[in-house]
Amino acid sequence: MTNLGLAARPAPVDDEAIDPFRERVARRFAVSKRVLGAEVQFEADDEAWLALIEAAYGGLPAHALPAAAPTLRIELRLAEPSDPASLEAPPPARMRSGAGLLCGVMDAAHYAAIAPARQQALVVASPAMLARHAYHVRYELLEFAVFVLAQRAQGLVPLHGACVGRHGQGVLLLGESGAGKSTLALHSLLGGLDFLAEDAVFVQPQHLLATGVANYLHVKDDAFRFVEDAGVRDWIRRSPTIHRRSGVEKYEVDLREGYGRLAPEPLQLKGVMLVSSRPAERLLTPLTPNEAAARLAADQPYAAGLPGWDDFCRQCTRLGVHRLARARHPDEAVAALSAWLER
């Protein structure tokens, strides 16, 4: 973390007349992080942003992909809130695009504007929102900007799912919300598998290398019924709770403070599991190539429309796509994943 030093603040009188776009506000702090194979340079106008950057990316393995790492630049700016009601319940970020920009907009004071062609982004939030709703600013604006820039700059396939592995090889865990991916990821971590990501996985389609951000695991209360270790239960219960936009409340467990091992490098995918909430006589059921391609596209509608999807899908069906049924205990599913990785 590098402090660029203090610069003179804009004059308190007639600021808006002199600099209506706030172009002359000093970027007082600079921090660089290696995220998703890219070099991300953050420039912030206030120290309040530094804690948010560390919460998102501090202490994580620095993944490197085969191509040269692009340099992404993200400016973090403070603004005064335009609507006090937004501080009680932050409005969801609405997606917008135009003129080469991709935007996530909560309101006039809280938004992210991303220019993929320039590999730059601007994230704006008020001090009050940072203090009261840091999770929403981090997850819906800051991480959103980093994910979009890293994905677009490197041609990665973005997936809503989890990934765990061993000895540099990984298994992709996909499936509908509520299927049990987070619980399976938790028990995979506790069962000795390397943890890559639980919510968002990014795959280089040419090499099927998967990377992610292993900062947090999000689990509901019902995850405790399968956790016997009192220390693990206490670790989870000490974690703050977050409220998803869906209304679901989850523990946000910081993986840098507890059990298990984070994947030190991108994982070479060895298979894909479509996690099901339904039990079946067979835990693992292979899908035909046609069925696998259809199920993958249905499970990942956004990624299926992006460049690189055809390569990704073709290679996944070559490796093998399986339906993973709901096991009586998550450890049974972890054992199946471990055996698959040892093949």
List of domains in the chain: 2-154 (no CATH), 157-342 (3.40.50)
The predicted pLDDT at position 279 comes to 86
Residue with tokens 């693990």: 232
Contacts of 88 (CB under 8 A, 6+ apart): none
Question: Residue 2: what pLDDT?
Answer: 45
Q: What is the CA radius of gyration of the chain?
A: 21
Alpha-helix runs per DSSP H in the chain: 15-18, 48-57, 127-132, 134-137, 143-154, 181-190, 230-237, 289-299, 309-319, 330-342
pLDDT of residue 1: 44
Phi-psi region of 49 (alpha: psi -120 to 50; beta: other; left: phi over 0): alpha
DSSP 316: H
pLDDT score of 8: 45
Alpha carbon 31 to chain centroid, angstroms: 19
Sites in the chain below the pLDDT cut of 50? 1-13
Task: Give the residue among 210, 165, 211 at the shortest CA–CA distance from 316.
Answer: 210
Q: What is the pLDDT of residue 80?
A: 81
Contacts of 290 (CB under 8 A, 6+ apart): none
pLDDT at position 281 is 87
Q: Which two tokens stand for residue 76?
A: 């973090």
**pLDDT the model gives residue 253:** 94
Q: Are 240 and 250 in contact (CB under 8 A)?
A: no
Distance CA 163, CA 214 (A): 10
CA 327, CA 278: separation in Å to the nearest integer?
Answer: 9
Contact between 261 and 301 (Cβ < 8 Å) = no
Sequence-separated (6 or more) residues with CB below 8 Å from residue 215: 55, 56, 57, 60, 254, 255, 256
| pLDDT value of residue 5 | 45
Distance of CA 90 to the CA centre of its chain: 20
Provide the pLDDT for residue 248.
82
Please say whether the beta carbons of 34 and 64 come within 8 A. yes
